[in-house]
A and B are shown apart, each in its own frame.
Chain A
């Protein structure tokens, strides 16, 4: 392991809670509905994170707790039953309903597991109910997906068939590319989790080789391991280097030679390097500060340093699973400063002191930093854009070069006016 500096910080934070991941999960599985059992704050959060109200009727909603629900839990369970009945009558096409716990529902100990169990019996053969917590007292932003996937694992049948299982939501087009490359490598059975339909869950067992596409799935990985799956240890498929290592690790697990991997991906690598050049020109030597939010920070830091030659000032991460991040940390340059957790005020002090060229941060902080003259990139864009894989390396770099380029345009005087 390279000599990376680990730090921990606690204090006031500026990050989303796990409910936010519903925004991409519901798009991944169009036959599922996400029902948050929470407060008006939860409803307001998801709608604000989703940006605009773009759907006729979104496939997520909030059962808002009212004063009378707090008075007696038995009534709350009944009330939730009524809400679910209404919802299913209104949306008969829904196949899986996620009951999502929130901060208030966790604090009042609303037992969503029991509710789900009862509802499963009642709607047997029509709708499946699963529950998980996306609460901000337990989960950060992308961790919500970890909870949702973990909740689906008990529903997955067992099978000893050998297969490659890609775990973590990917953009559909990126996933299709990956599958094609794996097929070309000679892996015939490739499945994804989460699937594109909530009812088409992959079967898993001792010959399932799990390859993580996202770095925020600690609990899911643990439960897949318990089901006998083999976890392939690899960096994450961000950038050319990460993706190459990712393919190589998968190939190794399937006893496919490195040579074969390079043969298949080298044309992709060559053209990706070419595409990366113009971004590298802008990013090279620029100093980067990553605030914790999406949990992708370590992989992004590795990509932006190793492939775009940026200098890393500080790499924040909401939490650190050293085991899961082992391969990533190995690729980081010596003396990289990783900070787990957050004290947002102290961290912003460090941002100002270090005078970075670019800060990766949440939407609440971006404009205030811009107003101080510091260029920013909002991290939420990383979870909404197709950024994985070799073919997307230049697009990923583009997310970071664009604010710098724009800043350059707006501050330069190139036209002489008469």
Chain B
């Protein structure tokens, strides 16, 4: 039993719903009690969907348990098939139904329908949402394509040449309630199309069962989100020889590497290599002088595996930040996140507990947090600027405007979204210059007004509370006076560093001189 206050992922059947809702001509009969219908609002409220998820809940009640719940399942399946006429039926159960073992999938298969039926067995007491989405997409792909396995020769990625057409790829993984999937797909299709590569099928987002059956018309698969599509890509590789890409095109370097990988796999010469550097404004914006102030900004990253790893690379290599924390709630991707963290000399945080993440955030004292909706709230409480880079997300993270994370435009969006919560360089310089003027209100931070006030209050109250630090170190009058002269946005860091220095040197009292000694020591 695990105590959970807020959870990063829903149960696995919500993952299955994400696949069903992303697609056309599919219906999902879910053996579940009435309360499980809450999941509809994730789609209709967070994504503002104008359609209900294609899900029928059997809505069994306590009084049904003594009787024949299997009959109830069959009745609901029959009604759903008649009403919605799906081309493929998904049948499964939520946590409670799993316990009563009606085996709805087997029941459905015995009802004599001629459409393909996918029996979803998603263990609710050990697995979670992304796993459920991945498993559903995999089972669906397998069900719809398994008959073609023996009759097909392995797909040669170079066959487009002999066929005398442009190479074709599938884009696999984008789904509803994924982070910015809608726009990532457009961006990636645009990039591929510029390189003379056609998109065969995008799935699950917007695909029908017919499209799944056409997957093997493409030469290779683009695995856009490993959490959702890797299992399917692996199956397609094993059974049809379809290669798939490993690079997630988030950030300039990864986008270029992704284009290279696709070209290599298709044996397609890359002709516009030099142009690629200039497709996004990120490299120049990052190089421009105003961005000098970004150098070494301490950033804490937590999210799903795909987005957290990509964010770490961009933060370090493309924006010149210092990554002080990296973690994920995706246990399935823990190994990769650990490897990235090792390269960055930080310890990876793999956890489902947002309070642990918040503690790690406090300890590392970052200047920017890149996280999920949970970290946005934690960061707000701590007075640290935050940008959301991953699910779970809130309605505000599904913007009306085009705002991908992937490709060239994705890099532009990322630059804006990560840098705007910070103070602009020139502004920082001016505030520093004028901070002793009487008009200057401590905490003034232009467009970040309210956040700054919070932060300031927190630090001030910290100072009052902790006149003497935990380690028994005393701040003298002169030390404290000097500390207030330090710009408020770095005051916390200076305070911690000075105390660290004092402990290191066994200095019991911190004076103004200690502050400068510490400054010199750490610079």
Which A residues are within 8 Å of any B CB, using their own CB? 11-20, 37-41, 43-45, 47-49, 52-54, 56-58, 60-67, 69-70, 76, 79-80, 82-83, 86-87, 103-104, 106-108, 135-138, 140, 345, 362-368, 370-372
Q: Which chain A positions have C-beta within 8 A of B52? A: 364-365, 368
Stretch from B33-41, B206-214, B244-252 that touches the partner: B33-41
Interface membership of B7, Cβ < 8 A = yes
* Docked complex: B272-315 residues within 8 A CB-CB of A: none
**Complex contact B11–A15 (CB within 8 A):** no
- Give chain B nearest CB distance to A371 CB in angstroms: 3
A76 to B1, CA, bound (A): 7
Instruction: Identify which of A19, A57, A107, A140 contacts B100 (C-beta below 8 A).
Output: A107
Q: Tell me whether A61 and B3 are in contact (CB under 8 A).
A: yes
> At the interface with chain A, which of B120-128, B400-408, B448-456, B463-471?
B120-128
User: Which of B57-65, B217-225, B229-237, B493-501 forms contacts with chain A?
Assistant: B57-65
Contacts known (A66-B126, A136-B34); A44 close to B10, Cβ less than 8 A: yes
Contact of A48 among B42, B58, B64 (CB under 8 A): B42
Cα distance, A58 to B373, chains bound together (Å): 15
B3 contacts A103, C-beta separation under 8 Å: no
A65 to B123, CA, bound (A): 12
B94 contacts partner chain A, Cβ-Cβ < 8 Å: yes
Chain B residues with CB under 8 Å of A43's CB are 4, 6-7
Q: Establish whether residues B394 and A70, one from each chain, have CB atoms under 8 Å apart when the complex forms.
A: no
Query: In the complex the two chains form, what is the Cα distance from A54 to B7 in whole Å?
Result: 13
Query: Would you call A136 and B36 a contact (CB within 8 A)?
Result: yes
Q: Which of A44, A52, A53, A63 contacts B2 (CB 8 A)?
A: A63
| Interchain CB contact under 8 A, A67 and B126 | yes
In the bound complex, CA of A56 to CA of B361 (Å): 14
- Residue contact A362 to B373, C-beta cutoff 8 Å: no
Chain A CB within 10 A, most for which of B38, B44, B59, B374: B38
Residue of B with least CB distance to A318: B34
- Tell whether, in the assembled complex, residue A57 and residue B49 are in contact, meaning their CB atoms are under 8 Å apart: no
A137 with B62: CB separation less than 8 A: yes
A66–B126 alpha-carbon span in the complex (Å): 6
Q: Which of B2, B60, B381 has the most CB of A within 10 A?
A: B2
Report yes or no: A40 in contact with B128, Cβ–Cβ below 8 A. yes
Given contacts A40-B9, A61-B3, A363-B41, 20 further A-B contacts (CB under 8 A): A13-B34, A14-B40, A19-B35, A20-B38, A39-B96, A40-B128, A41-B10, A41-B14, A41-B35, A41-B124, A44-B7, A52-B373, A79-B1, A103-B35, A103-B96, A106-B62, A345-B56, A365-B52, A367-B50, A368-B52
The docked-state distance in angstroms from the alpha carbon of A272 to that of B125 is: 53
Find out whether the CB atom of A16 lies under 8 angstroms from the CB atom of B38. yes
Contact of B35 among A12, A136, A368 (CB under 8 A): A136
A39 touches B11 (CB 8 A): yes
| B42 contact set on A, CB distance < 8 A | 48
Question: Is B51 close to A, CB under 8 A?
Answer: yes
Contact in complex: B33, A362 (CB < 8 Å): no
Across-interface contacts of B4 in A (CB, < 8 A): 40, 43, 61-64
Question: Whose C-beta in chain B lies nearest to the C-beta of A141?
Answer: B35
Contact yes or no, B35 A45, CB < 8 A? yes
Contact in complex: A103, B95 (CB < 8 Å): yes
Chain A residues with CB under 8 A of B14? 41, 44
Q: How far is A52 from B125 in the complex, measured between Cα atoms in Å? A: 25
